[in-house]
Amino acid sequence: MFDSEQKSDEKSEDDDKEEYNNNKNNQASSNQYETYKTTTESESKTKQPSGKIIDNVVYFQRLNSKNQLGGSKGKVVTYNSIDGLNEYTTFPNGTLQTEKTGIYFSMFAAQIGSPNRNGKGEVHIWTEKDGKNEQNSNSIQTVNRGSISVLVYASVFQASTDQTLALLYSVSTTNKCTSLGLIATEPEHESIVPSIITTIIQISDGINTIPYAELFSTKTQLANSNSDVIIFDSFSANNKINTKNTEHNGNIEYNEEGIYFIIACAQVGSEIDSDASGDVHLWMKLNDKDMSNSNTIQTIHSGSTAVLISQTIIKLKSNDKVQIAFSSTNKKLGVIASQPKNEPAVPSIILSTFRLRHQGDAIPYAQLSSSKTQWGCKKSQGIEIDMDDGLQRIKNKNGVIKFREAGTYFVIAAVQVASEDNNGIGDLHLWMKLNGNDIPNSNTIQSINKDTGVLICQSAIEIKVGDKLQMVYSTDVAQGKIGLVATQPHNQPLVPSIIMSIMKSSYAEDNYD
């Protein structure tokens, strides 16, 4: 994988292991969700695993360094480079095939735009399983002239051996003389920006072995300046999570305690036949109270649409209830469902959630965020991360993240990109470094034009003990200042400048409690 040599002034791997063992039984995790503290390592040691812990999980990390231009009919996204692969079959036509039955989490991040930045229209992406379109898997994002952004789709799903999976995309343009699609670029002195980054990682083996669910809504739900909760009327997967009230009050009730990953992908925009503009906010609630540091914002321009995400890793107790909340600065904005012709439906929101490994020693994870606004420049800078919302077997030193346990990790960073006084124009680049070196092909770009949006960067990474990970960014500014902007909306949780979630993927074999 990536270079993980340590500098001479850093601790050796043996020193780090010794430090970890010395502190193992008296270490307490910090967690800003105060009532729901992370289980300490000494507490979790009393839980004896009834099955062998498997760290060698199936995963897939692939990309394409070339443009992929689209048309009105769906095309399969293809790949030309592998950054990581374990027990996953790939085919030249872009089709992927599982080699092992299990539960998997996937995230597709498409860098959408126009080759010459002169196109305008929409890009759609959806999934196909075993040669058939997956229902309610479609997502849409608007491309404006001069803009480039990342269109995200995330899913948790049960897969059987030899199941095939493909990502499809289509485009619609306002001018037939221009083209849109998935756009790759090669910035100077930075990691490549691929046209697509696809991450698939196994989170359990067998069939329905852990609590997990994927929920969505087929209904448009408009927001206003007062916060409201989003309801869910359907699900494509559900095991050991209570969803009987989601259509009435949006409550997702967790039957079993544990550490859970939650990601909401909301299709934000304006109601049909409206050219409304404004901002949409999206955040989480826990037991009817706002979840700290979970808020994100997306600007809508004249009827545009985009996928806005909010994600977390959190320790939950049995019967805890999670809701997704939203608000807007224009009552004609909200989460929008639609039905494109000859494509799967576009839900107004898709929510994926699952429990991390529950047996044996405490599973390594980190939920981090920053309260600091950070302005960018052409030269890359490390992102300062000053808030540890939840930590276990991982250290954070103001954005330098050190790992105490080897394994395959999923990492996602979501940054709130904006400009000073909403007057800036330009691009922000976001990528990862491991032990001071750029992680190849990890770069993503978000354009800003006097507005705000969320930029995603994600990867599955093989980590060694003592490895250090850092998020870095740069800006290419035409006007004003652009950067990562933290804000405190009235009667809402903080909008951090970055929300970062990290988890090790492993599971207990033959242990399905």
pLDDT digits 0-9 by tens, 335-394: 999 999 999 999 999 999 999 998 878 999 999 999 999 999 999 999 999 999 999 999
Model confidence band, residue 33 (pLDDT cutoffs 50, 70, 90): very low
Helix (H) or strand (E) holding 57: none
Kindly provide the residue ranges of all beta strands, DSSP E only, lying in 252-292, ordered along the sequence: 252-254, 258-270, 278-286, 289-290
pLDDT digits 0-9 by tens, 439-453: 999 999 999 999 999
pLDDT digits 0-9 by tens, 295-331: 999 999 999 999 999 999 999 999 999 999 999 999 9
Model confidence band, residue 49 (pLDDT cutoffs 50, 70, 90): very low
User: Which residue ranges form the domains of the chain, and what is each CATH number?
Assistant: 1-30+360-506 (2.60.120.40), 57-207 (2.60.120.40), 211-355 (2.60.120.40)
Question: Cα–Cα distance between 319 and 342 in angstroms, integer?
Answer: 41
Statement: residue 17 has pLDDT above 70: no
DSSP string, 450-467: SS-EEEEEEEEEEE-TT-
188 Cβ neighbours under 8 A, 6+ residues apart: none
Once rounded to an integer, what is the mean pLDDT over residues 6-12?
41
Statement: residue 511 has pLDDT above 60: no
Question: Cα–Cα distance between 401 and 392 in angstroms, integer?
Answer: 12
pTM: 0.91
Model confidence band, residue 508 (pLDDT cutoffs 50, 70, 90): confident
Contact at 8 Å (CB) between 460 and 504?
no
Burial class (CB in 10 A: 0-12, 13-18, 19+), 35: exposed
Contact at 8 Å (CB) between 147 and 121?
no
Give the mean pLDDT of the chain.
91
Phi, psi of 433 (to 5 degrees): -120, 140
Question: Cα–Cα distance between 309 and 499 in angstroms, integer?
Answer: 10
Contact at 8 Å (CB) between 469 and 383?
no
Contact at 8 Å (CB) between 181 and 70?
yes
State the pLDDT at residue 50.
52
Contact at 8 Å (CB) between 229 and 247?
no
